[in-house]
Amino acid sequence: MDKLQAQEKIDSLRTLLNSYAHEYYVLDKPSVPDSEYDEKLAELRQLEEQFPDLITTDSPTQRVGGEPLEGFQKVQHSIPMLSLGNAFNEQDLRDFARRASQGTSKPLAFVCELKIDGLAISLTYEDGKFVRGATRGDGTTGEDITSNLRTIKSIPLSIKEKRKIEVRGEAYMPHKSFLALNKLREENGEELFANPRNAAAGSLRQLDPKIAASRNLDVFLYGIGEWQGDPVSSHSERLTQLKELGFRTNPEWKKCESVEEVLEYVEYWTRERPNLPYEIDGIVIKVDDLDTQEDLGFTVKSPRWAIAYKFPAEEVVTKLLDIELSVGRTGVITPTAILNPVKVAGTTVQRASLHNEDLIRAKDIRIGDTVVIKKAGDIIPEVVRVIPEKREEDVLEFHMPTECPACGSELVRLEEEVALRCINPSCPAQLQEGLVHFVSRNAMNIDGLGEKVINQLFQEGLIHTIADIYRLERDELLKLERMGEKSVDNLLKAIDASRENSLERLLFGLGIRFIGAKAAKTLATEFETIDKLQQATYDELVAVDEIGEKMADSIVQYFSEQEVTDLIQELKELQVNMEYKGPKRSEIVADGSSIFAGKTIVLTGKMEQMSRPEAKERIEALGGTVTGSVSKKTDIVIAGEDAGSKYDKAIKLGITIWDEEQFMRMLEQEGGVA
């Protein structure tokens, strides 16, 4: 292929891939399975490697993040990015509407939008290309974070509008990404993010774009700055225009003809906000007509034609009864507040993580204190503050131990970590946590080996390493309390069945630092056998999509340990499978012939004929994607017995629902039933 032919092919692939990305990340309506997108992206990457001078900034291959920056450049906003005035109650909203109506003779209509709790951003396009992204900063001067914003897949790198335009919106971190990030940080002894907003802001202010790329951020666009595109007469038309240009806009906005409709919208989303997959902290209300906006003008700090209604934070008071310590499987010591049970944001809270000693000291938290509790980001129970005037004389000051509560080894604080960590590889708490993780549902999925049974076996000296699980014998199990013949036989069958698991389950179960279930699947698909993965170099690992530098370092370090080599050999001798059994991505149905190909599917309720993890594997093998929550992009909900809120939401959204019998019939048609 000569250079001219390569350019034509590259242009064609970029156009196709950008279209696929728009369908998936903006419209929530993918037209092809992930496997087809991945194949086209690999083809484009190969061509760009052969012809590097043809690489452009708007290529889909450039989203992964470039080299780390030395610092952020300042950006002057030609039109200031002003903040909004706040409303806190119904009267504030009525006063806003009254003031707006007094400033114009025209009848007023309003647009209500969800106030996304993230980081305000500006995106500039010239000649159809994304050329600059910036933070709001102080409203006049922001920071150039183009490299980080380029990694967000819902931001188009090119658009059809060739005139210069600047669009504005909010970058945010979805709940799912936030929980996964904090879980990883806690396992690694790193300070946790307090809420999704801080996590999003922290991610976009990383000098290494690869960090932002790993955080799974998203955006909603809702306004403009400098604009040379076609004019419109209302804000509602502007939102439609932005969507037509390919930008991701929030679909929940509504045009309201009266303040009463505005109040109804506010009341609805105050009630429904816990069901959103992202965080909102209020409602933005804007006068719809743009000429009227201009007539109303601005105060020094904010527009007179818009206001932000802020949700009241739900905080409750309870008593902190005790502080318990737990040792994670990576050795991190985590203090947890034990609370007098109290209801917060719809659920009863009895425990709240205190994260580390620094937080306890900063908030002066003592055992016996009366404390204020809330859910950080409406998700994680958090001790907000102590009420000092209610402190009694018998409260106890808490001190973190200098020795591990499980094994007595000296605790250490590794460089750049805020958490204390036990680094004894023989620590019984870590060993037990590692065993519990190994047998868990997303790992080796050994039914009957729950946490209590693992602890019992460990205390009796029957298991010490994961290899010991496969050496358990019937006679020794029958001697244990609450172990009858039937339960022992079932347990041994489950252990024996786990020997045949595909490689990705074993990899995840081994508990390699930074390697979650998704990364384990990626590695298993790429290397196919544990031997090939053990021999993989750092460079070979980072060349794999979705495997970052920290992951690669961790994998190389893990397999360099002699005890790991010995463990793998033991497991081989115990006939534990070491190969990937799933279909290669190139073999997954990609031509749409499978009813599951390219579909987003949610499983809910109890299934009788197979477990939900088994159902997930079958669906993915046929090109489908299984997610945990129902949204507008969900294609099918498979409902077993006692299906609850997901079933109700599917009905509300008009999503196709199958019962288990219909699902099994479809699997049989596709050849997906063993």
Kindly list the catalytic residues: 115
d(CA 364, CA 359): 8
Which residues, 6 or more positions from 175, have their beta carbon under 8 angstroms from its beta carbon?
196, 277, 278, 279, 377, 379
**Which residue, chain included where needed, has tokens 């992930």?**
34
Helix extents (H) in 146-195: 146-149, 175-187
Helix (H) or strand (E) holding 49: helix 34-50
Alpha carbon 207 to chain centroid distance? 21
What's at 174, amino acid-wise?
P
Q: How many residues does the chain have?
A: 674
Q: Tokens 């806690």 appear where?
A: 186
Distance CA 459, CA 465 (A): 13
Sequence-ordered strand ranges (E) for 311-438: 316-327, 333-344, 347-353, 366-367, 370-376, 380-386, 396-397
User: Cα-flanking dihedrals φ and ψ of residue 585, to 5°?
Assistant: -55, -35
Could you tell me whether strands 625-627 and 600-604 are parallel, antiparallel, or unpaired per DSSP bridges?
parallel
Type of residue found at 116: I
DSSP 666: H
Q: What are the tokens at 488?
A: 């022992």
Residues 6+ apart with CB under 8 A from 648: none
462 burial (CB, 10 Å; 0-12 / 13-18 / 19+) is: middle
Provide the token pair at 124.
């500039």
Q: Report d(CA 665, CA 657) in Å as an integer.
A: 14
Sign of the alpha-carbon dihedral angle for 231, 232, 235, 237? negative
Q: What angle do CA 313, 317, 321 make, to 5 degrees?
A: 135
- The two tokens of residue 575 are 């006939």
Helix/strand number for the chain, H first, E second: 25, 22
CA distance 597 to 582: 16
Q: In what order do the strands lie in the sheet with 218-227?
A: 129-135, 119-126, 165-172, 218-227
